[in-house]
Structures are given as C-alpha cells and as structure tokens.
Structure 1
Amino acid sequence: MPVMITRILDAQWFDVLARILLTLVFWTSGLGKLFDFTASAGIMDDFGLQPGWAYNIATLILQIGASLMIICNRGVWLATGALAVFTVLTIPIAHPFWAKSGEEAFQDMTVALEHISVIGGLAVYAVYFRQRERMLFQ
C-alpha cells in the first residue's frame, strides 16, 4: 500500500471523518425530522405509525443519538445495532417493493438494497471497533 494512503488511513481525522460519513444518512434525516417536525410526524401517520408525533420523536432521537454515539466512539455496539435494526424495519414500512409494481417497485427495491448495504457498513464498523478495542486491551 502506498505510504500516502497508509498515512491517511492511520490519521485520527480520517477515522472521525469516516464515522461522520457512515452516519450521515441518519443524523441528517434526524435533523430534518427535528426542523420540520409537523411534516415528518404527518409522514409517520401516513405510514400507519400513530401517533405520528411520538414515532417522529423516537426516530429523530434514535437517528441523532446513535449517530453521535458512533461519531464519539461510545456504545458503538449498541448504536450500530440500533441503527441496523431501525434500517431493516424501514424496508417493510416505507419501501415494500414486493407489494408494488413497475417503476415504483424498482425504486423501492433499490432503496431497500441500499439500506442493506448501509447495514453492512454498520456491521463492518462494529467489527472494526471491536477488533481495535481488543488490541488496545491485550
């Protein structure tokens, strides 16, 4: 591996940046739910999650809180697990591609596959964090 790449991968700033990017989709979504609370609560109601305001609060707390935990390297196993479970649950609630047809089904399937990839990224980070933790405490 080139020395420049090694230096970047070993840099603390790059580790933090990677965690910010890994959680970007969650914390930006949580902030969106916070700043446009009424519309987001209405979307929750539309998905049959009632009361929408309560689901909106729970979702934005989970998205922002778990993202911060990962960014700060605190409770990584809990945060990655919570976001993974949340993400898999959004597929049948918001992206049920199997119940649709045509372009709409294709779009929802694409989003579902992207969600599964994000879950994979969360799992990889949890494994990385655990291995790093084990090396530090040996």
Structure 2
Amino acid sequence: MKTWLYLPLLLLGFILPGCTKKTTEIVIPNQTILYEITPDAWGYDSNGGFYYYNIKVPELNGVNQTDGVIVSMARYGASGQTPQTYELLPQVYNNQSYFIVHDDANLEVDIKGINGAASVKPATKVRVKIVLIPSVN
C-alpha cells in the first residue's frame, strides 16, 4: 500500500527534470561617436547669455523614446594632449552648467553660468562622447 503512495512522487522525479526553459538573448551593440570641440568653435547666444556648440549626428534619426542617449565630455589639461577627467552630462563644474539637448539630427552642448555667474567657454579643447543605446521592446 505504501508503495503505491510513493509511485507518483517517483514518476514526478523522472518527469520534472526533463522540462527545460529556453531563453533567447538578442544583443544589439551600442554606437559610440567621438567629437572634439576647439575653444574657438563655441558660439555665444547673447539673448540667453550662454555658450553652445551644435554637433550634427545623423545617427539620432533612428533613436526613439525607449532608446538611450548618453553624452559625456572629456576635459583636457593645460598640455592639451590627454584627457584628464571624463564627466557625464549634464554636469556642473566651476560654476558652469553643462547640459545637452538633441533632436533627430543634432545634439547641442550648452554652457551656462549658475547662480548669476557669467558663462565661460572652455580654454582647452573638449572631447564629446555620444553613446546611442538601442532598446528592444
């Protein structure tokens, strides 16, 4: 009688390990765009009182709201040879606010003084790194 009670458990022990879950991973690589801005290339908006630089990025045409756009900026030291620090934008540094806006073709980097400080453009070149991260729904 007890043998019949253990028989269903024994059968389940053989059946359950046979079930496996399959997962499919889709890996879509991100896209990185590097751009260098020289000190003399910054424009000045006298109405808003800030410096700006427009970068044409046609790759933004395929970006939608579920995708990620990450922008970081590298500062160069006085030698101007190698980047000293990398910062994710938006960022505040030396009473200057660095921020970005973009549409489907351009990315604009703006520099504006905070707390009433005057806008000051960088004295050395800066490297802008744009990373486009696609998202699959």
Q: Bin the TM-score by the shorter chain.
A: under 0.3
Q: With a CA cutoff of 8 Å and minimum separation of 6, indicate the structure with the bigger relative contact order.
A: 2
| Structure with the higher fraction of residues in helix conformation | 1
State which structure, 1 or 2, has the greater radius of gyration over its C-alpha atoms.
Answer: 2
TM-score, scaled relative to structure 1? 0.20
